[in-house]
Amino acid sequence: MTLHHVSIRTADIHRAIAFYECLGFEMDTRFTTGYTLACWLKGWGTRVELLQVPEPHTAPDAFADEHYVGYYHLSFDLSDHQEPLDTWLSHLEATLTTHNLPFQLLLKPTQQIIGTSLYHIAFLRDCDGLPLEFLQRLGTF
């Protein structure tokens, strides 16, 4: 069994596609769900489904609300990248800015121990305000 996709509702599917393409995703399939535009994007070893919401409401702030219950964030592993997380984020910020897309850092790169591994972790918001985590394994101890 494998995870087929993660689904994200968006206020503007074209803006969300552009945002996730800046992260390295590529268009896989465009379709409608009967009432709205949708697509699957492929990248990072998975698929993201985007669904445009006809009358969007502001999403709850899963990052700031410590009492929020539900899906929290997507996490992207940069451990195979040669460049440090800080550098990768700087390049991402420049790319997003060039495409007139938001770059909002929620948590600047921070070291965190998880199990026996040391990670460099950062959080930012996507174009609909949803939290995204980027982590890079620095080593084990």
Q: What is the pLDDT of residue 58?
A: 87
Residue 66 inside a domain? The answer is no
Q: What is the pLDDT of residue 35?
A: 85
Closest among 33, 62, 57 to 123, alpha carbons compared: 62
Find the CATH number of the domain harbouring 38. Answer: 3.10.180.10
pLDDT digits (tens, 9 = 90+) for 7-49: 999 999 999 999 999 999 999 999 998 889 999 999 999 999 9
Residue with tokens 């410590």: 66
Same domain? 31 vs 93: no
Question: In percent, how much of the chain has pLDDT > 70?
Answer: 100
pLDDT digits (tens, 9 = 90+) for 85-110: 999 999 999 999 999 999 999 999 99
Residue 67 inside a domain? The answer is no
Residue 63 inside a domain? The answer is no
Contacts of 18 by beta carbon, 8 Å cutoff, 6+ apart: 99, 101, 127
Same domain? 84 vs 136: yes
Q: What is the pLDDT of residue 59?
A: 84
Same domain? 81 vs 49: no
Same domain? 50 vs 105: no
Same domain? 43 vs 77: no
Same domain? 136 vs 78: yes
Residue 13 inside a domain? The answer is yes
Count of structural domains within the chain: 2
Residue 49 inside a domain? The answer is yes
> What does DSSP assign to residue 21?
H
Same domain? 102 vs 141: yes
Residue 96 inside a domain? The answer is yes
Same domain? 12 vs 47: yes
Domain containing residue 31: 1-54
Token duo for residue 9: 């509702």
